[in-house]
Structure 1
Amino acid sequence: MHILMISDVYFPRINGVSTSIDSFRSEMRAQGHRVTLICPEYPEARNLARAADHTDDPDIIRIPSRSVILDPEDRMMRYGEILRLIPTLQSQSIDLVHIHTPFVAHYAGLKLARALGTPVVESYHTFFEEYLYNYVKWLPKSWLKFMARRFSKSQCNSVDALIVPSSPMRDILHAYGVRTTMHILPTGLDLDQFRTAPITDFRSGLGIRTDQPLLLYVGRVALEKNIDFLIDMFPAVRKQHPEAVLVIAGEGPAEGHLRRRVRALDLDNAIRFVGYMRRDGTLQDAYRAADLFVFASRTETQGLVLLEALALGTPVAALGAMGTRDVLDTAGGCLIPPDHPSEFANAVNSVLQTPDRLVQMAREAMHYADSWSAEQKTAQLIDHYVDLVTEKQQSSC
């Protein structure tokens, strides 16, 4: 098949959408399919080396873009530039359009699908109802929720099928009034590539001894990730484990706020911000070095970083909220503590005090992660594509 994907975000912009696109696209190509991706150009990427990793592919079409006032990390593609691609795309025998984001990409994707005569599917990656208020705090939260629900309902009902990463997200969209067929399909992991990355010495690079308890968070450093919760619970962990360290790996707009919070708690030496970590072995070794991966987001539609930790044998302690619930399995190396900092800390302390339990959870984690392979998830997505294309062909006869 030849699939046309379109998204308002992609690398070098780092988030779950970029990672999901990259995972599915890489595996589709490995399975013999062609995937063309339309995404923004990032002319002022801060890390040009990181951007270069994704600029040499002839099937990635970068669209001139402009900045977004409320979100300096993102870019807005120029709609007219996308439509100029129609004659070229019409000559390429595209079978299906897959939209990944609800902004310019959504409306341009619908237009492209009509011009190409193909079915159109959309992935619902972001729980906007809970996300928007972190960026538009001057508007009432109730009004933002209302608008997010109307916006999502309208867009989701305008496509032929939806891909949702978890059952809670599907249930929420049903409650909005979405009637489009939905398929639950989380992003998978390339387990072989992820597990065989070169090993570096993460702990020694940060001056953390092997006998010091190490907690790890990996992800975007943004308000909706609820990293404040992890910082607030950490003093209770340090009370029982005075040499424990919490490492926060990632970058994002909340870093300054979180650093000030850490300083106010006098935890500068115990909570380390290490920035973005490349997937060339550095990130993988961070997971391997940790005793426990901790996660407190309440707005995840999936939580891919949880699976990454489990795949490398690192047990997870996470709030059982939204899409995270579908990932967490207490028989698969996971703890699901209560949604309160002190009780979360109690659960963390309990497992840190029992090394044998940590070893058992690590074994369970790796076994459980095997069922989330990118190969399996991509094959399921291709099956959905084939069904849509077949239905489209039959309806046009």
Structure 2
Amino acid sequence: MKILMISDVYFPRVNGVSTSILTFTRSFIEQGHEVTLIAPDYPDVGEHEFEILRIPSCQVPLDPEDRFMHRRHIRRLLPELRRRDFNILHIHTPFVAHYAGTWLGKRLGVPVVVSYHTFFEAYLEKYIPWMPHSWLRALARSFSRNQCNAVDGVVSPSKQMLARLREYGVTRQAHVIPTGLDLEQFRGRASNTFRQRHDIPGDAFLCLYLGRVAHEKNIDFLIEMFEFLKHDIDRARLVIAGEGPALPGLKKQVQRLGMDDSVHFIGYLKPIEAVVDCYRASDVFVFASETETQGLVLLEAMACGTPVVSCACLGSEDVLKDGEGCLISSLDWQLFADRVIALANDDERRRQLSTAGLEYVRDWSTEAKSAEMLDFYCRVIDRRASLGQHEETDSYDSLDQQEMQP
């Protein structure tokens, strides 16, 4: 199969979308399929593992990590792309990539699928707090509905997110396919140098958040929770690994609470070995995002044997099972801190959760999830062919019986 993908983000920009694209693409290529990705150009992009068509782009205002691709440069690719005889086009993000992707799909005469990675209904409230939330919710729902109904198929990372899309009025063929985990990346021995490199005492009880440092990740909650935790466990430390627009405000919050010596902001970690060392050096992974469409970092932590304490909201509800590598908490500072304190005071319980987590993540292998994605591609292609290449796909009055399977 020849697969064309398009995304507004990709490495060196670190986030869940970039990870999802790379994870699926590696597996597709190993199975003999061809993948081409259209993505923004960045400074210092490094070498590519597969074919990437880098598009000249400009910086997004107020967000130095992200870039807008110039659509005219994407249009110029059309003659070459027509010669390639792609079977399907997969859109991964909802900005320039979405509109350029649907434009390309029509002109290439191929079915188009979209992955719904971002829960806009909650996302917008974090970035436009001055606008009435009811307006933002209506805007987000209309935006998501229109984009999803403009394509042939929709991929949702979780059952909860797909249920929301159906509530919005999304009627297209859809299936739940979370990103799989390349378990080999998280195996092997850790170097045990992480704490030394970051000046963290060997006897510290180390809590970790790893991911994009964005407003919707609810990291300010984790910092407030950590203040409760410190009252009971003075040796506790919190590491925040990542970068993003919320970073300046979080640093001010830590200073205001007088915890500069206990909270470590360490930026992004590269390569993957450094990420694994960070997970394994930590005693517990803490997570409080209410907007995740999946929450891949939760599985990564478990794959490294690190117990998780997290809320189970939206997509992370699909990932987490209490006692299977994690403890689930409500978003109450004291209750969340109590969960973490219980693990800090019980080495045997931490070992049990670690062992259970390592077993649990086996069901989330890359191989299984990429097979599901390829099967969905085939179903979308077959349905498009049965309707006629230039017909609009019709609405689905009821959910596909298989679409809600994880």
Superposition TM-score, scaled by structure 2 size:
0.93
Q: CA deviation at 1:193?
A: 2.3
Superposed CA offset, 1:138-163 (max 9, x none)? 43322122111101101111111100
Q: Which of the residues 272, 277, 280 maps onto 2:264? A: 272
Counterpart residue number, 1:377: 369
SS at the partner of 1:73? strand
Cα distance in 2, alignment partners of residues 368 and 57 from structure 1: 29
RMSD, aligned CA? 1.5
Q: CA deviation at 1:338?
A: 1.7
User: Does 1:257 find its partner at 2:256?
Assistant: no
Q: Where do 5+ consecutive residues of structure 1 fail to align? A: none
Q: Which of the residues 326, 329, 334 maps onto 2:318? A: 326
Counterpart residue number, 1:351: 343
Match runs of 1:107-256 below 5 Å:
107-196=99-188, 199-256=191-248
Name the amino acid aligned to 1:32.
G
Cα distance in 2, alignment partners of residues 236 and 73 from structure 1: 32
Superposed CA offset, 1:172-191 (max 9, x none)? 11111111122111111111
Q: CA deviation at 1:69?
A: 2.0
Cα distance in 2, alignment partners of residues 369 and 279 from structure 1: 22
SS at the partner of 1:204? helix
Counterpart residue number, 1:14: 14
Larger mean CA deviation between 62-71 and 217-226 belongs to: 62-71
CA contact (8 A) 1:200 1:282 kept: no
Name the amino acid aligned to 2:25.
R
CA contact (8 A) 2:185 2:272 kept: no
SS at the partner of 1:60? strand
CA contact (8 A) 2:192 2:281 kept: no
* Structure with more contact order per residue of length (Cα contacts < 8 Å, sep ≥ 6): 2
User: Does 1:67 find its partner at 2:64?
Assistant: no
Counterpart residue number, 2:292: 300
Q: CA deviation at 1:264?
A: 1.0
SS at the partner of 1:314? coil
Cα distance in 1, alignment partners of residues 307 and 231 from structure 2: 21
Counterpart residue number, 2:328: 336
SS at the partner of 1:301? coil
Counterpart residue number, 1:25: 25
CA contact (8 A) 1:303 1:324 kept: yes
Superposed CA offset, 1:201-220 (max 9, x none)? 11122233333211100011
Percent of aligned pairs sharing the same letter: 49
CA contact (8 A) 1:320 1:336 kept: yes
Cα distance in 2, alignment partners of residues 34 and 213 from structure 1: 46
Q: CA deviation at 1:390?
A: 2.2
SS at the partner of 1:246? strand
Q: CA deviation at 1:70?
A: 4.1
Q: Where do 5+ consecutive residues of structure 2 fail to align? A: 390-406
Aligned length: 389
Name the amino acid aligned to 1:345.
A
Name the amino acid aligned to 2:344.
L
Q: 1:262 to 1:194 in 2, by over 3 A?
A: same
CA contact (8 A) 1:197 1:280 kept: no
